[in-house]
A and B are shown apart, each in its own frame.
Chain A
């Protein structure tokens, strides 16, 4: 269930420049008293490629984005504490800047080398062989229940995907919905859902797995413009609608 997972605020928010007016929502769902949200937000321009465009707030030495250590850690599947991120970021930045000196070298028409030298095909026949010391390999597995290697559960898409009604924005009476999708291409998905919600003038909230909650607020004056907010959630959705 959504509520059983702590949703982390996307670390990248702090590095994104806030272009427009900030609103802070504090939504309490009327049906499930455990949910509470806190937000900070950023504006995106909905472009045809449906990519979130980050605003770079620093002058970079190259035209490339500086390393976002939290995001790299997520990609590399290494949990970093915020203080570790702070500690590593300048060192990594320093080394990456130093790497940048290769940008100045004229490498026009030089072939890249995968390795020092390659001999002709050095492949052996594709015939399966039994490894003779299977017991030793299995003995090395930390968590083994014959014949399975045991790991904790993976987030189950089917259980979660759908649209949930989670309450009403008190100041305007606009109903709040949230939708859950584990799809990696959530942006186009959320935008489509927003368009549908925009017709009804409601706020639509999209979730991506357990980590980030994105809410999009449709601008009344411009149907193509959405404001994205990020927030952390601690509660359960109210009622599944679709």
Chain B
């Protein structure tokens, strides 16, 4: 029931591909490859171009759509692409309003991809699962509604591991997404489609969801920026629930600035989500000072803690090297970088999987074939439930539901779920202590760069082990930003490695400020995959 594996594609047929380049090892001092200028905010430059009438929203939308069409057969990032006419109509409406001198929102003309476990009323939303094949929600998720209200144009629904359960998109019921840096490799998951789409510039920004690292790990694998907000910062209304105490909606973009602007657009209290925070939302967009205005040590005084346990055995030497390089870069910017220890770090992984699978077993009980989704034929009610679910769910989802059912069974609750919640308390406290003494903590986002499609399918524990860098952040509910910091060997131009920065609760401002300065001062780092390098339109 896993999506069929696709054979590696030859890029020679792809018209925009350049000749291969020498591989650059992850480092900030190697010979400079081309296209290494830091990314600028697409959202701001689109806004500028629209308001100065240099380009119309319709022209912009058309250029993204054509790149999407060109790259999609190689990437399969999207499960559903909006009808072109509908997209261009929205763009034309925006052009009218601009021409009429009206105010347009901060996301005006911005083409957005939305992960398919986030409800969109006018498009199918499958959660990557056959159980919801063809389902059209009756409402937009709050995050989607806000994007539309602020001028954004949703161009399609991106591929994911079924219901968010997985790290590669190989558990999608429909297709496997390819990594734009090397199409024989995974883009990461579960928001693999969203990350690949932004990486290949099929859209400007995208929404993902992060329960155990599902925005951050694909951002690292695809060389884009991924932001996981604090739990409660963004409403979960309309996000198909996987693990309700861990899920958040996150942002992916090609620059720190873009993810910050998107975060600001979707944040805020929502009366439809009882776990959404009433805290004021700072203006994240104001963090992005121009690099020219910065002093020589712009981050002077910032205390950075490197999490020692994340640079141990089991982590690729190339990744460790990239992170240490990033730490040096931060020191150059004025930070004081020290190594810190979080001793309970490794407990997070089993605790996470117990909590996530238990909550999932409860959340996924609503998919019974009765009120929505695919319905099996049965002559008796229990068989209707059993068969609809058996046919609709993939093997990974079934396994996690069964594990969760076990963990919540009478007599086992204390041994598993309750203990996992106690571990959560320990982890929360240890992060809080570390973040009292440091402004941010840094670590890799994953123990390796992107691996080959099909490499990790059979061994569940091997797949779970890759989440070690990210799950603790979800358990503690903290915000985290992942951004490209280096490369390892692989593919034709190297494979990206992301740096994870973890902040204190609700302190996304600091993460964005530090991330932006880090990014804008990074030398010799490629930000654009070879797949689309020749296309200067973006």
Contacts and interface: CB of A to CB of B under 8 A. Distances in A.
Interface residues of B, number: 77
Does more than half of chain A's interface fall in helix, strand or loop, or is it mixed? loop
Interface in A82-125: 84, 87-88, 91-92, 94-96, 98-99, 101-103, 105, 107, 110-117, 119, 122-124
7 A-B pairs closest in CB distance: A116-B477, A112-B421, A79-B386, A136-B138, A115-B245, A142-B375, A77-B385
A88 B398 CA distance: 9
Given A115-B245, A137-B138, A149-B371, A102 B380 contact: no
A73 interface: yes
Interface string A5-23: 1000000000000000000
Interface of A: 5, 62, 64, 67, 69, 72-73, 75-80, 84, 87-88, 91-92, 94-96, 98-99, 101-103, 105, 107, 110-117, 119, 122-124, 131, 133-134, 136-137, 139-143, 149, 151-155
A155 B380 contact: yes
Nearest to B406: A67
B383 A99 contact: no
B476 interface: yes
B370 interface: yes
Nearest to A211: B382
Given A64-B412, A76-B401, A122-B278, A115 B231 contact: yes
A88 B395 CA distance: 9
Contact of A62 (B347, B415, B475): B415
Contact of A154 (B381, B403, B405, B418): B381
Contacts of B384: 151-152
Interface string B509-538: 000000000000000000000000000000
A149 B245 contact: no
Contacts of B246: 115
Given A69-B402, A91-B460, A116-B428, A79 B369 contact: no
A76 B231 contact: no
Contacts of B395: 87-88
Nearest to A74: B386
| Residue of A94, A95, A113, A155 contacting most chain B CB atoms (<10 Å) | A113
A99 B407 contact: yes
Nearest to B269: A122
Contacts of B370: 141-142, 149, 151
Given A78-B390, A116-B245, A122 B424 contact: no
B373 A107 contact: no
